[in-house]
Amino acid sequence: MKFKHISGGITAVPGFLASGVHAGLKKEKLDMAVIYNPKQCSAAGVFTTNVVKAAPLLLTMDRLAKGYSHGVVVNAGNANACNGPNGMEDAKAMASAAAKELGIDEEQMLVSSTGVIGEPMPMDIVLPGVIKATKELSKDGGQAAAEAIMTTDLVLKESAVKLQLAGKTVTIGGLAKGSGMIHPNMATMLGFIATDAVIGPETLKKALKEVVDSTYNMITVDGDTSTNDSVVMLASGDAGNTSIEHGTEEYNVFLQGLTEVCTKLAQDIAKDGEGATTLLEVVVKNAPTIIDARKAAKAVVGSNLFKCAVYGRDANWGRILCAVGYSGAQFNPNEVDIYIGELQVAENGGALPFDEEKASAILGKDKVTVTVDLKTGDHSATAWGCDLTYKYVEINGSYRT
Q: pLDDT at position 184, please? A: 47
Q: pLDDT at position 181, please? A: 47
Q: pLDDT at position 262, please? A: 93
CB 34 within 8 A of CB 168: no
| Side chain identity, residue 334 | N
Could you tell me the domains of the chain? 3-271 (3.60.70.12), 279-397 (3.10.20.340)
Q: Are strands 337-340 and 367-373 parallel, antiparallel or unpaired?
A: antiparallel
Q: pLDDT at position 182, please? A: 45
Q: Which helix (H) or strand (E) holds 10?
A: none
Q: pLDDT at position 154, please? A: 77
Q: pLDDT at position 396, please? A: 64
Low-confidence spans in the chain with pLDDT less than 50: 180-184, 186-187
Q: pLDDT at position 250, please? A: 94
**Residues across the chain:** 401
- Catalytic, 188? Answer yes
User: Among the options 11, 188, 227, 259, which is catalytic?
Assistant: 188
First to last CA, the chain: 47
CB 72 within 8 A of CB 232: yes
Q: pLDDT at position 187, please? A: 46
